[in-house]
Chains A and B, each alone.
Chain A
Amino acid sequence: MIFEEITFALAVFAFGLSLIEFIDAFRAGPLPVPAWLRKIKIRRKWVLGIILCMATVVIFCVMQLAGLEVPSLIMISLSTMVLLGLVAIGEVVNERAGTVNIGLEGILLLSSFAAVYGTEVSGKWPVGVFLGVTVGALTGLIHGLISIYAKGNQIISGMGINLFAAGFVAFGIWTAWVPGVHMLSPGLGIPRISTPWGGLSWFVPLTIALALVVQFVFYKTTWGVRLRAAGENPGAVDASGVNVFRLRLLACIFGATLAGLAGAFMSLDWVGMTTKALPAGRGFIALGCVVFSGLEPLSALGAAALFGFFEALSIWIMAIPGIAAVIPSGASNFVKMIPYIIILVAVAAVISRRRFPKSVGRPYRREEI
């Protein structure tokens, strides 16, 4: 069927992106890499990528024949990619314009709660998504006003948003339903594209399309140039007659809106519940993706696919039937560490080759005459 092919194509696309990022990281890696590998030209990098891709397909086939559920691993990977990817793309836009938002974790938490709340009250999921996105945008507006217009400390403001969200969502779940966890009522989730391996979320093609659009806007339109210049040299943008403050504020709201969309996806589409610690650090992993990608939208999606894969792996391993009998008890905690360790190592590996906008994280002050 057509849907089957779409799913397959998306999986291959996401997988290819993650492999490119992987090779990129490996070439720069902390491990002693042989000189010939460092010197590989771009074209050979693609050849290496195709070989690795084929090797992985073979491994997957063997795993499948051994009775392991490989399609479910791919489906979970796509979900984690969407979540990390939406947040990371939004933050790339935001940081390129010159503002850092470390409150993404809090925005994910707030919007995932708001989305479930809206859906439960109205009985329709679009209302929930709308509410989630609105909450994200409003939080972005507040963060933007503080860090761009009031020239406050962006990191502290972001941390404040995280702390506020942790308290507010716990309070909200308590007052709306019962303390702790609320499962979404059955039948209220976002409908999915049906495939033989289970439902594929509409958010998967949406996220990929969004990354391509943002990449296009960044490098092919005037607005993209202005946005990138606002992070490099805001004075020049200001002198050319563009309102730097408004540009940065819009970028900040855009980034937070995408984080709000990701929160709605997480609670309504993926896990179907809201808890007081639902994102579990994924907002910060997305920040790691942003650093890893060197603030390129498509690379950010690739990084999201890569780290999403490792996160999916850690979820998937523990779901293999009979795994508890094979590995020692308590080992699950070490498996859950995998994504966090990998992102730490990967960021450390590539960071020296990344260049960041000159005035990122610094509020722009117009020079007094």
Chain B
Amino acid sequence: MSSLGERFSGLTKPVTQSLFAIAIGLAIGALLLAIWGYDPLAGFYQLFNSAFFTEIGLASTLSYATTLMLVGITFGLGMRAGLFNIGAEGQLMVGALAAVAASTFSLPPGLHLLVGVIFAMLAGALWALPVAILKVKKGVHEVVSTIMLNWIAYYLCLYLVLGPLFKAGTHTSIQIQSSSRFPLLFGTLSSAIFVAILFAIIVYFIMWHTKLGVKIRAVGFDQESARYMGINPGRAMMIGFIIGGLAAGLAGGAVVMGVPPDYAVFTELSNIVGYGFAGIAVALIGRNHPLGIIFSAVFFGGLWSGKRAMQMFAGIPLEIVDVVIGVIVICVAIPELLHIIRSKIKGRPS
């Protein structure tokens, strides 16, 4: 019983901190809306009502959550290995385009889907490889290299989507063939969500129940100590980047192979940008734990899915959701925020 109690109390602190950050984010969002003369309550009512209490909205919430979960794992796994891997944005784009390219083959239905998924994942991992090599061999900080590769990926994908993979006479790339689409569950929700959850569980298993996972976490905890224990930090970081790349690539595949009705990439890439950076917030609110990320992805998926209803019915620009996400991330940066506020209220020096 006591072990259960300990486990529970070990869980309450991170959950409280995450909820607190979310609350501050929503409060500041509401404040900004009020300053600009909008009605925040009506807006948030529309947002959450549409996202979680309508069938169409819920399907789209879970559909967004599928992708956000995977890019969240990219960043969260990186954090566990002591890396700030913000390259999910570019890796996702490359993965999405690779899935489109793979869909031009003609293969039997089940196999074709599998080939598409593998292509997307490998493309994501391939895009993460230079970051890993530059970090391990040269010591280039991953924030600089991932951002540069994100932009290179952006222009590469712009070229592909308007060039070799363009579908003439439309505003999208070639559509994914029906043989390599994820089967739909209900509404616009596809079975890609099961693949994403499975991926999260596999990552959880690797990180907490294998020697490799212990090594990766040891490197993230203290690189020097890990080195003295005989762990090769370079190898652990390499694996951290590669698994992250696989996750982000799969996320890109899920966006194009599992989101009706387009099953394609828009020519301005508008349906594949933004996930990677939102994934940072997903990972942080999920405390960089694969299982926590599953739940936090559903929350952020709800924000993404409900923002259109908020714009449509409450007349509030949907970008306010990005403001809320930004504030949430800033709040998470301060681990002792609750403690600081509590001691300030009680008048004690912190």
Most chain B Cβ neighbours within 10 Å, of A156, A161, A284, A351: A156
Residues of A within 8 A of B317 (CB): 170-171, 174-175, 179
Q: Complex formed: what's the CA distance from A288 to B320 in Å?
A: 30
Residues of B within 8 A of A102 (CB): 143
Residues of A within 8 A of B23 (CB): none
**Provided the pairs A167-B319, A171-B320, A351-B138 are in contact, do residues A156 and B143 lie with their beta carbons within 8 angstroms?**
no
- Other-chain residue from A161, A280, A337 in contact with B326 (beta carbon distance below 8 A): A161
B111 CB to closest chain A CB, in angstroms? 32
A96 CB to closest chain B CB, in angstroms? 16
Is there contact, CB below 8 Å, between B277 and A163?
yes
B74 CB to closest chain A CB, in angstroms? 14
B145 CB to closest chain A CB, in angstroms? 6
Q: Complex formed: what's the CA distance from A147 to B336 in Å?
A: 12
Say yes or no for A168: interface residue by CB 8 A criterion.
Answer: yes
Is there contact, CB below 8 Å, between B84 and A155?
yes
Is there contact, CB below 8 Å, between A352 and B151?
no
- Other-chain residue from A142, A171, A284 in contact with B323 (beta carbon distance below 8 A): A171
B18 CB to closest chain A CB, in angstroms? 14
Contacts of A169-216 to chain B: CB distance below 8 A: 170-171, 174-175, 179
Is there contact, CB below 8 Å, between A156 and B332?
yes
Among B113-121, B154-162, B216-224, the one that faces the other chain is B154-162
Counting contact residues on chain B (CB < 8 A from A), the size range is 35 or more
Q: Complex formed: what's the CA distance from A291 to B145 in Å?
A: 11
Is there contact, CB below 8 Å, between B138 and A352?
yes
- Other-chain residue from A154, A161, A163, A291 in contact with B281 (beta carbon distance below 8 A): A163
Is there contact, CB below 8 Å, between A347 and B333?
no
Is there contact, CB below 8 Å, between B151 and A168?
no
- Other-chain residue from B144, B284, B319 in contact with A291 (beta carbon distance below 8 A): B144
Say yes or no for B330: interface residue by CB 8 A criterion.
Answer: yes
Residues of A within 8 A of B327 (CB): 160, 164
**Provided the pairs A288-B148, A344-B149 are in contact, do residues A337 and B155 lie with their beta carbons within 8 angstroms?**
yes
Is there contact, CB below 8 Å, between A151 and B336?
yes
**Provided the pairs A156-B329, A175-B317, A352-B138 are in contact, do residues A340 and B143 lie with their beta carbons within 8 angstroms?**
no
Number of A interface residues in the complex (CB < 8 A): 49
Which of chain B's residues has its CB closest to A276's CB? B319
Residues of A within 8 A of B159 (CB): 330, 333-334
Chain A contact surface mostly: helix
A35 CB to closest chain B CB, in angstroms? 22
Say yes or no for A107: interface residue by CB 8 A criterion.
Answer: no
Is there contact, CB below 8 Å, between A160 and B326?
yes
Say yes or no for B70: interface residue by CB 8 A criterion.
Answer: no
Q: Complex formed: what's the CA distance from A280 to B148 in Å?
A: 11
Contacts of A279-313 to chain B: CB distance below 8 A: 280-281, 284-285, 287-288, 291
Q: Complex formed: what's the CA distance from A288 to B143 in Å?
A: 10
Say yes or no for A157: interface residue by CB 8 A criterion.
Answer: yes
Is there contact, CB below 8 Å, between A168 and B156?
no
B40 CB to closest chain A CB, in angstroms? 13
A157 CB to closest chain B CB, in angstroms? 4
A285 CB to closest chain B CB, in angstroms? 8
Is there contact, CB below 8 Å, between B329 and A163?
yes
Q: Complex formed: what's the CA distance from A166 to B337 in Å?
A: 24
Say yes or no for A259: interface residue by CB 8 A criterion.
Answer: no
Say yes or no for A348: interface residue by CB 8 A criterion.
Answer: yes
Say yes or no for A165: interface residue by CB 8 A criterion.
Answer: yes
Which of chain B's residues has its CB closest to A157's CB? B333
Say yes or no for B81: interface residue by CB 8 A criterion.
Answer: no
Residues of B within 8 A of A161 (CB): 326, 330
Q: List 11 A-B contacts (CB under 8 A).
A: A150-B334, A163-B326, A164-B329, A168-B319, A168-B323, A179-B317, A281-B148, A291-B141, A336-B155, A344-B134, A344-B149
B residues adjacent to A (C-beta < 8 A): 32, 36, 84, 86, 130, 134, 138-141, 143-145, 147-152, 155-156, 158-159, 162-163, 277-278, 280-281, 284, 317, 319-337, 340
